[in-house]
Amino acid sequence: MNPLPKEIEEEIQSFSPEVEAEIDRHIAKYPVKRSAILPIMFIVQRERGYLDAAGIAYIARRLDLTITDVWEVATFYTMINLKPVGKYHIQVCRTLSCQLLGAEKIVEHISKRLGIKPGETTPDGRFTLSWVECLGSCGTAPAMQIGFDYYENLTPERVDEILDSLKE
């Protein structure tokens, strides 16, 4: 494996024994270590807030992979955050069904209400707005995801209800 830059090497950490045990349980589920990459990405992201270079390096070490192997997976999935996101990460589907049924109007409404554009986070760190690829809700478009919760058949009024329901 390639040596890591010193600043990343210094930042790689181990996690609490409970988190390390959780990671070990995921690795044990699979006949090939590499297969545990997504569950471990979620754990590292949960613990660090997002998947940064040090988190990527940690995963590469734990799974005996190259950093490039891990980046390839991390950059493919929109649920892996490679930079900090707000407490509520609003992800609006931008694929065909959602676009035809009003996703652009939904994003414009959210942008106006929160004062941010896709790819931005509110100054208080509460909300991040993102466009994402298909959320698999073509029959109930437009759709968005906040955290692991899906919302479908969106209208500006429904979006307001959803945003109002989110706790500080």
Annotated binding site for [2Fe-2S] cluster: 93, 98, 134, 138
Neighbours of 149 (CB within 10 A): 9
Binding site: residue ranges?
93, 98, 134, 138
What are the tokens at 83? 């930079």
CA 86 to chain centre: 11
Q: What is the DSSP letter of 91?
A: E
Kindly provide the b/e burial profile for residues 72-107, where b requires at least 16 CB atoms within 10 angstroms of the residue's own CB.
ebbeeeeebbeeebbbbbbbbbbbebbeebbbeebb
The phi, psi pair for 79, rounded to 5°, reads -85, 0
Maximum distance among all alpha carbons in the chain?
Answer: 52
